């Protein structure tokens, strides 16, 4: 099978081709480009534009979350806990809640920074910092309002293409970010289980085994992703065989769609990851940023506990926060509804005591409702320039001062292409003797 890896195209690369999809056109000489000015990328005619995020699905998710929040309030009234809820809030220390909000803000900024590390490697990438903020915000918004965060991946690819990347380049960036985030979640939870498993078994009993099973499920999912990335031929053959067998029994709807996913998208997913994984330092840096990002999210309950005047062990809160994350992401409902409530009640309910309901609502507002709806206006952010992040950093640090000066004087950066022709040396004729 032919390699289906997509390549990022530059306008200057296609200008010199004689035909496009069988239609001849006049050949134009490539124009010289100003130093430090990136060429804006556009997808080739063979590429399909990614679909616009499913806003209807997100709207349904928002309605569902609104109903859930209404159910929270109704539960307080009909269970007779409204008085306890109000009294619990009477003595809340706001400085700790401010700390919790800052943690969520840092979680968002570090998520954006993880994208910056990927984009920085491409010196001519047209994607700016505000573009990447829109990418991260889109993932938060559509991910939180769709079951199992399925809306995050396509919405972020769509945002990257809007910023100027080709579909192939956007997919490479997003697929790598997705795998590294999942790897960070599993690695963080594994470290916390290793550090606190004994405490969890003594404090919470056999129910912790459920968390271990959920952790094993996430680990198997991650292993499956690596198999797809590293063994695409095996995955295509096995998937095609299973698909044909199922189709023969009449169990498959939209056969062509599933066949394309197996035979085309698997190759694209694999090639995209391999291109990014070729730079090991970048992958390690992205993982470190992701682990730090998750740490800020998991320490929010620690701030919530202190807001209600409850002392708690910091490492225990980190470990419990990671377990709650595993449980909530395993529930196929928007926002992990059901898993978030059950996980928080299991791990943090005994610590909060009578303030458990109030503590849960505060934690849910800070970690879910606030970032979800705060992300909505940021989806429309767009960088006002096409200068790459790499060139901007070089200019700010003074290392790109020479090229910037040439550009300001109207100079061009032009490097002639090397050809196989030998260099002809013209010798000067010797002067005639008089």
Percent of the chain whose predicted confidence (pLDDT) is above 90: 17
* 418 within a domain of the structure (yes/no): no
Instruction: Report the pLDDT value the prediction gives residue 433, as an integer from 0 to 100.
Output: 54
Residue 346 has pLDDT above 90, yes or no: no
pLDDT band at 410 (very low <50, low <70, confident <90, very high): very low
CA angle 185, 187, 190 (to 5 degrees): 105
Is residue 122 within 8 Å of 388, Cβ to Cβ?
yes
Structural domain boundaries, residue 288: 55-236+270-389
Q: Report, as an integer, the average pLDDT of 63-92.
A: 72
Find which of 46-60, 71-85, 266-280, 370-384 is predicted with most confidence, using mean pLDDT: 370-384
DSSP state, residue 55 = H
* 245 within a domain of the structure (yes/no): no
* 326 within a domain of the structure (yes/no): yes
pTM for the full model?
A: 0.73
* 74 within a domain of the structure (yes/no): yes
Q: Report, as an integer, the average pLDDT of 376-384.
A: 86
Residue 128 has pLDDT above 80, yes or no: yes
Residue 58 has pLDDT above 80, yes or no: no
Q: Report, as an integer, the average pLDDT of 362-376.
A: 89
* 338 within a domain of the structure (yes/no): yes
| Pairwise pLDDT comparison (166 vs 288), residue with the higher score | 288
Residue 234 has pLDDT above 60, yes or no: yes
* 12 within a domain of the structure (yes/no): no
Sign of CA dihedral 144, 149, 154, 157: positive
Instruction: Report the pLDDT value the prediction gives residue 306, as an integer from 0 to 100.
Output: 93
Residue 108 has pLDDT above 90, yes or no: yes
Q: Which of 341, 298, 338 is nearest to 320 (CA)?
A: 298
* 87 within a domain of the structure (yes/no): yes
Residue 245 has pLDDT above 60, yes or no: yes
Instruction: Report the pLDDT value the prediction gives residue 54, as an integer from 0 to 100.
Output: 55
- Quick one: CA torsion of 307, 310, 314, 320, rounded to 10 degrees? -90
Q: How many Å is the maximal CA-CA distance in the chain?
A: 120
Residue 137 has pLDDT above 60, yes or no: yes
| Pairwise pLDDT comparison (234 vs 262), residue with the higher score | 234
* 14 within a domain of the structure (yes/no): no
Number of compact structural domains in the chain: 1
Q: Which of 135, 137, 113, 101 is nearest to 296 (CA)?
A: 101
Instruction: Report the pLDDT value the prediction gives residue 18, as an integer from 0 to 100.
Output: 41
Instruction: Report the pLDDT value the prediction gives residue 32, as an integer from 0 to 100.
Output: 45
Chain-wide mean pLDDT for the chain? 76
Residue 36 has pLDDT above 50, yes or no: no
DSSP string, 147-182: BTTTTHHHHHHHHHHHTT--HHHHHHHHHHHHHHHH
| Pairwise pLDDT comparison (159 vs 400), residue with the higher score | 159
């Amino acid at each position: 099978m032919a390699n289906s890896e997509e390549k990022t195209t530059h306008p200057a690369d296609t200008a010199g081709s004689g035909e496009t999809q069988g239609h001849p056109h006049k050949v134009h000489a490539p124009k010289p480009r100003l130093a430090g000015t990136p060429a804006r990328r556009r997808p080739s005619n063979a590429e399909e534009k990614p679909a616009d995020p499913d806003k209807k699905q997100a709207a349904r998710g928002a309605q569902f979350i609104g109903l859930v929040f209404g159910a929270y309030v109704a539960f307080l009234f009909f269970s007779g806990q409204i008085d306890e809820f109000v009294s619990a809030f009477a003595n809340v220390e706001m400085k700790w809640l401010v700390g919790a909000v800052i943690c969520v803000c840092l979680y968002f900024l570090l998520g954006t920074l993880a994208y910056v590390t990927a984009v920085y490697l491409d010196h001519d990438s047209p994607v700016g910092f505000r573009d990447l903020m829109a990418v991260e915000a889109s993932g938060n918004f559509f991910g939180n309002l769709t079951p199992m965060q399925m809306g995050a991946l396509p919405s972020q690819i769509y945002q990257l293409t809007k910023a100027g990347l080709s579909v192939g380049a956007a997919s490479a960036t997003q697929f790598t970010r997705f795998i590294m985030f999942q790897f960070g979640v599993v690695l963080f939870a594994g470290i916390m289980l290793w550090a606190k498993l004994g405490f969890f078994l003594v404090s919470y009993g056999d129910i912790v085994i459920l968390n271990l099973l959920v952790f094993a499920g996430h680990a198997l999912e991650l292993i499956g992703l690596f198999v797809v990335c590293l063994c695409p031929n095996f995955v295509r053959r096995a998937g095609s065989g299973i698909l044909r067998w199922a189709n023969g029994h009449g169990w498959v709807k939209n056969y062509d769609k599933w066949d394309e996913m197996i035979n085309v998208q698997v190759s694209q997913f694999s090639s995209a990851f391999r291109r990014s994984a070729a730079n090991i330092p970048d992958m390690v840096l992205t993982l470190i940023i992701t682990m730090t990002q998750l740490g800020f999210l998991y320490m929010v309950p620690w701030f919530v506990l202190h807001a209600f005047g409850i002392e708690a062990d910091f490492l225990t809160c980190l470990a419990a926060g990671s377990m709650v994350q595993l449980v909530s992401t395993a529930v196929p409902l928007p926002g992990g509804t059901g898993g978030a409530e059950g996980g928080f009640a299991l791990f943090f309910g005994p610590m909060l005591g009578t303030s458990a309901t109030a503590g849960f609502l505060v934690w849910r507002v800070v970690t879910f409702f606030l970032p979800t709806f705060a992300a909505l206006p940021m989806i429309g952010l767009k960088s006002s320039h096409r200068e790459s992040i790499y060139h901007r950093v070089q200019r700010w640090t003074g290392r790109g001062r020479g090229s910037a000066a040439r550009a300001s004087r109207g100079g061009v950066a032009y490097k002639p292409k090397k050809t196989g022709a030998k260099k002809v040396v013209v010798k000067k004729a010797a002067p005639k003797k008089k």
